[in-house]
Amino acid sequence: MKNLQSTTTLSNGVEMPWLGLGVFKVKEGSELVNVVKTAIEHGYRSIDTAAIYDNESSVGKGIQAAQVDRKELFVTSKVWNSDLGYEKTLAAFDESITKLGLDYLDLYLIHWPVEGKFIEAWRALETLYEEGKARAIGVSNFQPHHLEELMKHAKIKPMVNQVEYHPRLTQKEVQAFCQKHDIQIEAWSPLMQGELLANEELQEIADHYKKTVAQVILRWDLQNGVVTIPKSTKAHRIAENADVFDFELTSEDMERIDKLNQDDRIGPDPDNFDFS
């Protein structure tokens, strides 16, 4: 992990950047186009969006505006719950890449483990993978029992599981399961949507390293082997979030941060939600 282009190797051999840009809740429009363009120009190579964010068109325009070779980029999107099912998922994928203006995705995810629907959706993702339309496929918000159920039916196991992950929700059970099965964990909402930035213990650690709390959290992600995609619309924050490759947390500080866990979610619980 030397810089923004540093990658982890997924189980199928595809290289995925350790750090990327998330665009959750950033509305379609010129601001987002500029955010994506700015991030790529700063060195980001991974951009994460989703159909439900309703901003794929602006992400695509930002990618085009940055004028970087497509092969250098790692673009992720996700299929929403209402589109889960073999044919519906294939159609949703086509809609996503059309909006993005791309020929393929680097990673396509099932957004939530909707019971009775994710097995057929996974079959569609396997088809997309086999046809070369998605270089890697995975899931989001899956707990170990969801993954076990999926893998009973899957020809191809997920390469990534993107979950809510931050110092208040360390997801040790999920991470242990994924490590055992060679599934890369990826953090959404790594900064707990800003709620952790005033934490006194994290500030104390940050002061020691002459870094910000956000930088300490993102470094903690990386040292835990977790891909991370912080969101920001401000150019200086986009640059700041990427400035995490020139220091290393001690094992003692890693443990201090681990102990902040309270199993506290800012998003929905994957076992108790209804997005139907």
Q: Which residues are catalytic?
A: 53
String of DSSP letters for 120-133: HHHHHHHHHHHTTS
User: Is-contact 91 59, C-beta < 8 A?
Assistant: no
The number of angstroms, rounded, from the C-alpha of 13 to the middle of its chain's C-alpha atoms is 18
Tokens of 26: 């950033």
Does residue 135 sit in helix, strand or coil? coil
Closest by CA to 50, choosing from 136, 140, 120, is: 140
Closest by CA to 25, choosing from 205, 250, 232, 170, is: 232
The number of angstroms, rounded, from the C-alpha of 73 to the middle of its chain's C-alpha atoms is 14
User: Is-contact 256 209, C-beta < 8 A?
Assistant: no
